[in-house]
């Protein structure tokens, strides 16, 4: 499944890469939520390839929703984000990816995230480790929050409800070595897996944002939970993904933050 996910992500990534650097006229799905023609082209390719190669499997896709194979009994569902970081892509900011995750009976078991700008393929399968470009990767060894480089993202309703995210954001600004916010949850998770970031937290993400990345972090030796340390369920809970060593410290900061950041 890991190899298949990587092949699909790379092929869709070529579609996205072909549109990189051009002027786009994105449509708005919400006040700050965009979609481009290349989101759709990438998703159409992914749906077609999965239907050809895995006709008995279901699909959850960002732009078109759930696709259930007629009479499907495989228990396999592909969870795809054809272009994670659409706003970045539309503004020619080089930080976006294609994410392809695989669930079996509701459990994430494999995934691949492809960055077409840097030609970086992150992939993992449960029990088989995580790789970047085919080479095994692992999380960082940073053990203190004050030495950690963190990353986060904001939900689409941040304008209406900044109180849900700003208290924790401000708290981490004063406790960590640095905090970044760069607009692709899938790549953020992969950067935790490879040790470029030490921790990632975010509210209100969809399953296609995190299914592949969460598997990659875990297989790289990291820890993935909700904000309280409970089970992370893609699309249903908050997410806290770290190298494991700073996980408890990050949970404490979030728990102590005022407001409603404890999703």
Residue 81 assigned to a binding site? yes
Q: What is the side-by-side strand order in the sheet with 199-202?
A: 178-180, 149-152, 199-202, 239-242, 223-225
Q: Is 198 annotated as a binding residue?
A: no
Which DSSP category does 192 fall into? H
Q: 226: annotated binding-site residue?
A: no
How many angstroms separate the Cα of 200 from the Cα of each of 40, 91, 175? 28, 24, 14
The answer to whether 256 is annotated as binding is no
Q: Does 209 carry a binding-site annotation?
A: yes
With b for 16 or more beta-carbon neighbours within 10 A and e for fewer, the 3-36 pattern comes to ebbbbbbbbbbebbbebeeeebebeeeeeeebbb
Annotated binding residues for Mg(2+), written as ranges, equal 62, 81, 83-84, 209
Annotated binding residues, written as ranges, equal 62, 81, 83-84, 209
């Amino acid at each position: 499944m890991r190899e298949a996910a990587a092949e699909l992500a790379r092929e869709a990534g070529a579609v996205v890469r072909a549109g990189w650097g051009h002027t786009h006229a994105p449509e708005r799905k919400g006040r700050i939520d965009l979609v481009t023609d290349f989101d759709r082209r990438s998703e159409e390719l992914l749906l077609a390839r999965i239907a050809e190669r895995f006709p008995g499997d279901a699909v959850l896709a960002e732009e078109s929703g759930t696709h259930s194979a007629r009479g499907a009994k495989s228990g396999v569902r592909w969870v795809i984000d054809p272009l994670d970081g659409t706003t970045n892509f539309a503004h020619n900011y080089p930080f976006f990816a294609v994410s392809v995750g695989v669930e079996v009976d509701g459990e994430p078991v494999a995934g691949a995230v492809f960055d077409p700008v840097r030609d970086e393929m992150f992939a993992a399968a449960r029990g088989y480790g995580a790789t970047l470009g085919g080479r095994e990767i692992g999380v960082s060894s940073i053990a203190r929050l004050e030495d950690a480089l963190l990353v986060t993202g904001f939900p689409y309703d941040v304008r209406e409800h900044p109180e849900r995210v700003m208290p924790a954001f401000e708290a981490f600004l004063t406790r960590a070595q640095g905090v970044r916010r760069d607009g692709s949850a899938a790549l953020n998770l992969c950067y935790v897996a490879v040790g470029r970031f030490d921790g990632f937290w975010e509210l209100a993400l969809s399953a296609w944002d995190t299914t592949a990345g969460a598997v990659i972090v875990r297989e790289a030796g990291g820890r993935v939970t909700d904000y309280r340390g409970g089970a992370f369920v893609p699309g249903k809970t908050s997410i806290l993904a770290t190298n494991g060593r700073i996980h408890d410290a990050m949970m404490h900061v979030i728990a102590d933050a005022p407001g409603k950041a404890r999703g």
